Amino acid sequence: MGAQGKLVHYYVHGRGMGHATRSLAVMGALRAAGFRVAAFAGPDALEVLRRAGPCRPVESLPPRFGPRTLWRLGTRLAEGYLAARAERPCVVVSDSDLPGLLAARLAGLGAIAVGHGLLAGACQRPPGVSPGAWRREALKVRSSSLGAHRQVVVSFVPLSPLDPSRTLVAAPILPPDLLASQRQPDPTAPLVAYF
C-alpha cells in the first residue's frame, strides 16, 4: 500500500518554535511522499505551520500538573478522539503533545511520538551521567509519550535505543559545508548545544 492520499494527523507542542520548525521539515517530507497532513498546533507553533498547509489550533498543556491541567487534558483528549474518529488518519504523529497520542490510542490508531526529550526515556544512559538525574528525566519524558506505539528520538547525541524495535534515534541531516568543516575540527571554534 502506497502513501498516496493517506491522511496523517500531526500534533505539535506549542511553546517555543523548535517543535514547529522541526515538524515543518517532517511534514514537508510526508507531503512529498504523497501523504495528506492535517496539523494540530499550539499557540507558538500555529503561525509557522499554517504557512505550510492546513493547521488547526489546539491548546498546549502547561508544564506543571494540577486540576486545570487535568481539565485541559480531558478537553484535548475528547477533541483529538473526535477528530481521529471522524477523519480516520492512517497514523497520528505527536511532537511532544501528549493529548494527541492518547486520543490516537483511544481511537485504535497507530501513534508515533517525536521529540528530543525522549532521549532520556528511550535510550541507554551515557557513561558519566548521574543515574538519579537520568531516571528523573526519563520519568518526566515518558509521561509525555504515553500511548505511543513507536518513538523517534531527535538527537545530536549518538546513543543506542533501549528497544530498537520501538525506537529510532534520528540525527539531523547536516549541510555539506558544515560536514566538510567537521572533518578538520577547529578546537577554538564555538560549540552550540541544545537540550
Among residues 63, 58, 93, the alpha carbon closest in space to that of 78 is found at: 58
Among residues 122, 107, 123, 112, the alpha carbon closest in space to that of 148 is found at: 112
Percentage of residues of the chain with pLDDT beyond 90: 49
pTM: 0.85
Cβ pair 153, 119 in contact under 8 A: yes
Q: Which residues contact 131 (CB under 8 A, 6 or more apart)?
A: 125
Q: Which of 192 and 159 is assigned the larger pLDDT?
A: 159
C-alpha to C-alpha distances, 23 to 105, 143, 148, nearest whole angstrom = 21, 21, 17
Rounded Cα distance, 115 and 28, in Å? 17
pLDDT tens, position by position, 42-98: 988 998 899 888 899 998 887 777 888 888 899 999 999 999 999 999 999 999 899
